[in-house]
Each structure stands twice: as C-alpha cells, then as structure tokens.
Structure 1
C-alpha cells in the first residue's frame, strides 16, 4: 500500500533513499528529505506491506507539463525482484489519475524499464 511520507518515517525513508547511487552521503540525504518536507511540488511516498515499509518513491510535480516525474524509487534489497517497484509505480499512477502523467527522469528511467512499468499506460 502506498502511503504518504510522514516525519515519523524519516529514518526509514533515509535508509531506503540511501540505496540510490546519488543519495549516499548523509548530508545529501538530509537535504533531499528536507526538500520533500518543505516543497509542496516534491512528494515522497512509502510502500508498506503489513507493518513493514519496503520501498520509497518520490516525485516532482511539474505543473507546467502536468507530469509527476519520478525522482527517487528504491526497494529494500531483501525484497527486490518481487514486483514491489512496479506496484509502487502503478499505485502512483492510480493516485495521480488524470491530473498528472507519471514520468521518469534520467536516474529512474532504467529502473522503470527493468520492472517493466510502462509510464504511458
């Protein structure tokens, strides 16, 4: 289930985001989390199954192009290759519906292709 990021999940979100190559440094992670907390155009969601948070997906809402651009997408390594990435993308598409077209940036495009999540569906 896709849930909206809340401050109480900050450490979990930082841990998940640290699996992304460009988010390795603690100061960079802190800046990224702060941006999600303070910028209304940046939205972070977590993927929860039962009581476990297994993944994170973050978007930038580009209001000029009506796109929700996926900036971050990551799954806990022990839960990879189980379709969680695709579930997150599909849930995001459902969440934004007709308001925003879900798209990828350079960093997330390969991940979306790997999990066979066609962003035009």
Structure 2
C-alpha cells in the first residue's frame, strides 16, 4: 500500500533511493530527500508490505502532470509487481491521470504500462 513519506522513513528511503543510478553519493541522497521534504511540488511515497517499507516512488508535479523521478524496490521484493502497483496507485493519491516519467526511468515506466494494458 502507498503511503506519503514521513521523516521516520528517512533511512530506508535513502537506502532505496541509492539504487537509482544518479543517487549513489550520500551527499546527493541527502539533497534529494531534503528537496522532497521542503519543495511543495515534490512528493515522495513509500510502499509498505505488512510493516516493511519495500518500495519508494518520487514525483515532481508540473502543473497537473505528475513526473515520476525516482522509483525503487527492495531487491528481495523485485518481480512481485510492486513498481507497477506504485505507479497505478499514484493517480488515486495525486488525483491526476497525467502521469509520465523522466528519461532515467522511462523504460521501466513503459514496461509497467504495457503490462497494465495486457491485464
């Protein structure tokens, strides 16, 4: 289930974000988390399975469009459809159907939409 980021999730969120290619450096991770905490157009969500945070998705709002900037799933939970479920849940949480991605995650985003259309 998708939940809004809280400061209590900071360490696990940074760990999950570190799987993103451009988020390897601790200083960069701290800057990214700070941006999600302070910028009203940036929204960070965690995916919880039972009580464990197993995924994270970060979005930047551009007018009425939600642009997915970050998406990561704990390696031990990959292949379970968590990434696809996070993307699908965004439209309800953000109340927009205009969801797109950055170039960095475009291939994954397209794959999720293809799977959605096949089901």
Settle same-fold status: TM greater than 0.5.
Answer: yes
Secondary structure of the corresponding residue to residue 113 of structure 2: coil
Normalized per residue, the structure richer in helix is 2
Q: CA RMSD in A?
A: 1.6
Say if 1:100 and 1:117 are closer, same or farther in 2 by CA, change over 3 A: closer
Counterpart-to-counterpart distance in 1, 2:27 and 2:85: 30
Deviations 1:37-76 (A, max 9, x none): 000000000000111100000000001xx20000000000
Counterparts of 1:1-121 in structure 2 under 5 Å? 1-63=1-63, 66-97=64-95, 99=96, 101-114=98-111, 116-117=112-113
Unmatched runs of 5 consecutive residues or more in structure 2: none
Give structure 1 stretches of 5+ with no counterpart. Answer: none
Instruction: Indicate if the aligned counterparts of 1:89 and 1:117 stay in contact, CA closer than 8 A.
Output: no
Q: Which runs of 4+ in 1 moved over 6 A?
A: none
* Cα-to-partner distance string for 1:71-103 (whole Å, 9 max, x where unaligned): 000000111011000000000022223x45111
**TM-score, normalised with respect to structure 2:** 0.91
